[in-house]
Amino acid sequence: ELKQEITRTLTAGNPNAPQNIVRYRFKEREYKLVEDMDQTAIHFTLNGNMIHKDSDEGRRQSIRSSIEAEASVETAAETSEEVEIKDEEQTGDTEAAGEGEGEGEQKGEGEEEGEATADEPEAVEEAEEAEAEEPPPTKAPEKKLANQFNFIERASMTPQNPLRERACQSEPLPSENFSANVNQWDIYDAYVEELDRMEKAKEKEKAKPQAVKKEEEKKGVQKLSHVEPQHIEPITRVAKAAKIAERMVNLNTFDDIAQDFKYFEDASDEFRGQQGTLLPLWHFQYDKTKKLAVTAISWNPKYNDLFAVGYGSYDFMKQGHGMVLLYSLKNPSFPEYVFSGNSGVMCLDFNSEHPHLMVVGFYDGNVAIYSLKKATSQPIYKSSAESGKHTEPVWQVKWQKDDMDNNSNFFSISSDGRIVSWTLVKNELVHVDIIKLSVDGTMQGPEGLQLQTLGCGTSFDFHKKIDYLFLVGTEEGKIYKCSKNYSNQFLDVFEAHHMAVDTVSWNPYHLKVFISCSSDWTVKIWDHTIKTPMFTYDLSCAVGDVAWSPYSSTVFAAVTTDGKAHVFDLNINKHEPLCTQLVVTRKKNKTTHIQFNPVYPIIIIGDERGLITSLKLSPNLRKMPKEKKGQEVKKGPEVEMAKLEKLLSLVREPENKE
C-alpha cells in the first residue's frame, strides 16, 4: 500500500467557484448568467505601508509634504512680525505717557521734574530685561495624515449610456365589418358553377392545336425555372452539408467498426487450421421496418458501399405495406433513400448499365421502376392490370442488356407461371410473355373438363455469357433450363429438390456450373450438361438463400432459417463448411437473404425482423493460392475456372470410367 502510486491531477479551475450566478443587465433588460467567473483563490495577503517614491502616489505625497512645510515656515514668519509690531506699539505708549507726566509737572511743581528725569533711564532698562526674559514664539504643530499609506478614500462615477428607443408610427389599416348568411343551396350553386368553369377550360384545351400546346408548355417550364429558386426550402440548401456532417458524426461514433472493416485481420485463423470466422460489423435498421422481413438484397453495381433492401412479408396472412431502403456503409444509422409501396416488396435488382435505375417486384403482382435521380419517391414506371401485371407474387426480377433500340428491359417471374419480358418504351412498360410454365399432366375440372395446371416459378437466373440461356426454379422442386428463343418447350429439366427452389444462380467464372438451394435443407451444385448434382450439402434446416462469392469460383455462402450462416470453399474442403456461425440470436427469428459485396471482403445478411447485419470474412475464408519460389501466382477468371474444373473432374472421373 505504501508503494502504491496515487495520481492526482491539479487543474486551474476553482472547484468552489459558483457556476450559476445571475446578474441583471440594464442594456438588455433581462437577467443573464455570468459565464466568466474568477477562478483565483487567495491564500495569503499582507497589506504594506511602503510606496515607491517614483510612483504616482509617491510623487503626490512628496509634493503635498513640501507644500505643507512651506506653509508652516510662512506662518512662523508672520507670527514673529506680529510680535515685533506689538512691542513697538507698547514702547510708543510708554513714551507718550512720559511726556504727559512731564508737562503736568512743569505746570505744577518744579521739584517733581527732577525726580521724573531721574526715573526715565530705569524704566527703559526694565523693559529691555522683560523682552530678554520673554520666550521665543512657538511653531504651529504639523498636521499628520491619518492612515497615510494604508487607506485612501476615492470615489468615481461612470456615466450611464442612456437607452434610446426608436419607434415609427403608421396609420392603422382600414377595416370593415362583413357578414353574410350561406345556405346549402348557395354552396351547391357555387360548386356547380366551379364544375362548369372547369369543363369549359378542358374543352378549350382540347380545341387548341398541338403546336400551341407545346409552346405554352415550354413557356410554363421556363417560368417555373425562374420561380423555383425563390421557393426552395432552406433545408434543401444545406442538405448536402448536413449529409456530410451526419456521415462524419457516424464515422466518429462507429470508428472502432470502421477500423475493423479496413484493417483488422483475425490472427487466430493460424491456429484454427482450415476453419474461419465472421466478424460482425455494422447493423442497419429502420424504425418503420422492424415488423417487416427482409425479402431482397442487392448491391449497386457502380457504388460499392451502396445497397438496396426490400421489405415485405412471406406470410400470406400478414400482408401489408412494403418498403425499399438504400443504405450506405458510410452512414449505418439512417438510409440514404426511402421508397414505400402499398404492397410488400418481394424482389429488386439494379441495372448494371444505368445504376440509378432499380426494378422492384411486389406481392400483388406489380412491377415498378424507381430512379434514384428523381427527387420524388414515386416510381417512374409501374405495371397495372391493363398492362399485363402478374396475378401472383413476383418472386424475382432481373435486368438484361439494352435491346437493339437501346431500350432498357428486364424479366420477371411469378407464381402464376409466367416469365415476362418488360421493356421501357418512352412513357410506358411494354410486356411480352416469354414462357408459361406448365406441369406434366392435367387436372380434372368441373363437368369433366381437363384443365392444364401451370407451374409456379420462384426463382431464375440468366447465363453470364450466353444471353438466351436461363434457369428457372419452381415450387415443385424442378429446375428448367430454358431459352428465350423457344417459348413452348424447355431445353432440359432437372429433378433438383423435393420442395420449392428458393434460389438458383450461375457461377460467375465457370460457364457450366450453377447452384441451387431449397427448403428441403439441401444446397446442390450442378453441371447443366449432367442431370445429377455434382455436390450436395445437407444443412439440417431449410435454406433461405445461397450466393457465389465474387472473388473465387469455389466459395459460396448460404443462410438457414435457424439463424446461421454457412461459408464453403470447395477448394479447401469439399464436404463441410469452413464456417458455421449464428447470426441471429433472438428466437423465432430467421435469416432470409445473403449477398457478397463485389469488392470488399464482407457479406450482408437480412432476417425476418428487418435487421441487416454486415460481417467481415476472416482470412481463412478468402485464401488465395500461395506463391512458390521463383513462380508468379496466376490470377484471373481463367485460373478460377480451371480451379473449379479440376474439382469437377474428380467427381466426373468415376462416371467416365464406367
**H or E, element range at 567:** strand 564-569
Per-residue pLDDT reduced to its tens digit, 456-504: 788 888 888 887 888 888 888 888 888 877 766 777 788 888 888 888 9
Please tell me the predicted confidence (pLDDT) of residue 63. 92
Q: Cα–Cα distance between 538 and 544 in angstroms, integer?
A: 13
Buried b (16+ CB within 10 A) or exposed e, 181-203: eeeeeeeeeeeeeeeeeeeeeee
Which is higher by pLDDT, 237 or 47?
A: 47
Q: Are 378 and 347 in contact (CB under 8 A)?
A: no
The residue extents of the domains of the chain are 281-623
Q: Cα–Cα distance between 607 and 395 in angstroms, integer?
A: 17
CA angle 180, 185, 189 (to 5 degrees): 95
Q: Cα–Cα distance between 110 and 97 in angstroms, integer?
A: 19
Which is higher by pLDDT, 102 or 407?
A: 407
Of all residues in the chain, what percent carry a pLDDT higher than 90? 6
Would you say residue 67 has pLDDT above 90? yes
Mean pLDDT, rounded, for 265-279: 78
Task: Give the Å distances, CA to CA, from 322 to 339, 421, 510, 598, 604.
Answer: 9, 24, 36, 27, 20
Per-residue pLDDT reduced to its tens digit, 499-516: 888 889 888 888 888 899
Would you say residue 517 has pLDDT above 70? yes
Span of 140-154, 220-234, 424-438, 584-598 with lowest mean pLDDT: 220-234
Under DSSP, the state recorded for 184 is H
Please tell me the predicted confidence (pLDDT) of residue 309. 92
* Residue closest to 264 by CA, chosen among 597, 598, 596, 619: 619
Would you say residue 404 has pLDDT above 70? yes
How many angstroms separate the most distant Cα atoms in the chain?
203
Architecture of domain 281-623: 7 Propeller (2.130)
Task: Give the Å distances, CA to CA, from 487 to 275, 413, 435, 466, 636.
Answer: 46, 14, 5, 17, 36
Q: Which amino acid is at 148?
A: Q
Per-residue pLDDT reduced to its tens digit, 278-334: 888 888 888 888 888 899 999 988 888 889 999 988 887 778 888 899 998 888 888
Per-residue pLDDT reduced to its tens digit, 626-645: 555 545 556 666 777 777 77
Per-residue pLDDT reduced to its tens digit, 577-615: 888 888 887 777 888 899 998 888 889 999 888 888 999
Instruction: List beta partners, residue 293.
Output: 312
* Residue closest to 415 by CA, chosen among 394, 387, 431: 394
Please tell me the predicted confidence (pLDDT) of residue 97. 53
Question: Model-level pTM?
Answer: 0.60
Q: Are 361 and 323 in contact (CB under 8 A)?
A: no
Helix 239-253 / helix 255-263 crossing angle, nearest 10 deg: 80
Task: Give the Å distances, CA to CA, from 621 to 269, 513, 525.
Answer: 9, 21, 19
DSSP string for 454-488: EP-EEEEEE-SS-TTEEEEEETTSEEEEEETTBSS
